[in-house]
Amino acid sequence: MALAALTLVGLGLRIAGGNGGLWLDEAWSVLLAHQVGTPLGVLFGINHDNNHHLNSLWLLTVGMDAPPLAQRALAIVTGTLAIPLVASLARRAGTVPALVSAALFAVSPILVTLGSEARGYAPMTLALLAAAVIADQAIAGEPGVNRRHMAILAVLGLLSQLTMIFGLLALAGWVLLERWQRDGAAVALRLTVRLFAPAFAAVAITLALLALGAWASPLGFQFGSYEAFAWMAWLRAVVELTGFTIGWPLLTVTLPIAALVLLLCARQMGTAKIWFYRLAIAGFPIGLAVLHTANPGHARYYLLAGLALLLLLGEVIGKALTRPGLPRLLASAALSTIIIGSLYQDGILATNRRADPAAAVRALAARSPAGAAVMADRETGEAVLKVAAAQATFPLTVTDSCAARFAFLDRFGGEDMPGTLHRCGALFLPIAAARVRGLSGTHWTLYERHR
């Protein structure tokens, strides 16, 4: 009953967070799927890093003009299913740690956010957790561990979001190192290769097919944005990831430092998945920093570390809750702090609606019911306007013509938004605006020609 209640809470939070118009990355995915028009086009014709293939197939199925909740339904369902699944993964630690892990997965702002938007992170999370259950069975020496299921999950996770590769590496390292400590190098290596070889072979074949599609395309593989590695961008993303994972998105290095301290003490606290935690929480983000990977400033790219941190917290807090005295008191305080902060952030998501770009279309319809021509100064603004207009069945033309009556500007966090706008020798005044509060979305302002 408790697990069912937690699952329903998680579902409710994700539905509440799934309202409002689609923000940039979602709308861009919708447009790309709409442009290619077929499942084969989604798999081999888009060739863009914004294409999360299974999510794009879902968006193609429901259509460009479907309500936002329908377009986000795949993420909402898979994000919700992750809650009972993580309880199954944590069951070896005991009933209380399993329920605490489920509670954290139900309310964590990063999982509620990614589990309520039309992207591939929630399906990838579900696939990764299911693969972790199989890896856990292999470590425990249970009979009948299914290599075929591991391979299927690997491909499904990869087609949901390419960072599944890092999750598979962490799982393989976990199995190898845990069994190495128990049975020696030869046994551990043989078991790990036997379990993961089909999965990595399937991943390699899938990547090769996707690469072939990009090679055959005149434009090759494209990136929405490409930023060289920068230490401050990496650090900010890790801090942001940690904060949104535990419900307190404060820009302070205290958060990841505290996570590392907890990781260092985890073995003494009796945690069972220590090598997975070490590889995912520390090894993964540090490894990307050492490799100087591109686009380091996006917190969601480090989701693997957030998932492992929630699992670690669930196990540590859950076990402490079963011990009387000070451990139970401290665990209760920690759990309450995380849940209160998380629910507050989930409430912000539900009310802010990622700055709800659909409000811009509603403002246009109020001033020009028959339709409107809008200047968008960036391609990103064009995407959110077109999808919001399709959902509202509002006749909208995005143009660079100086004859347009309206102008739309969208900006990322930290970028300035002008109070008035001068375009084509005319003055435009703001008539509607919204600012993002949370992990996803862009600020925007809609202007109308004054003279």
> What local confidence, expressed as pLDDT, does residue 27 receive?
95
pLDDT tens string 187-246: 999 999 999 999 999 999 999 999 988 888 777 777 777 889 999 999 999 999 999 999
Alpha helices in 267-371 (DSSP H): 274-277, 284-291, 303-321, 326-352, 358-367
CA–CA distance from 349 to each of 52, 107, 109, 232 (Å)? 22, 12, 8, 26
Instruction: Give the SS3 label for residue 95.
Output: helix
Of residues 102, 88, 181, the one with CA closest to residue 131: 88
Kind and range of the H or E element at 345? helix 326-352
Q: What is the mean pLDDT of the chain?
A: 94
pLDDT for position 220: 77
pLDDT tens, 250-261?
999 999 999 999
Q: What does the alpha-carbon distance between residue 255 and residue 204 come to, in Å, rounded to a whole number?
A: 36
Check residue 100 and give its pLDDT.
Answer: 98
d(CA 265, CA 308): 15
- pTM more than 0.85: yes
Model pLDDT for residues 309-346, shown as the tens digit of each residue: 999 999 999 999 999 999 999 999 999 999 999 999 99
CA distance 199 to 134: 12
Q: What's the pLDDT tens digit per position in 108-134? A: 999 999 999 999 999 999 999 999 999
For CA atoms 169, 72, 437, 412, give the dihedral sign: positive
Q: Residue 447: beta bridge partners?
A: 407, 430
Q: What is the per-residue pLDDT across 136-164, written as a single tens digit (0 to 9) for each?
A: 999 999 888 899 999 999 999 999 999 99
Instruction: Give the model's confidence band at 415: pLDDT under 50 very low, under 70 low, under 90 confident, else very high.
Output: confident
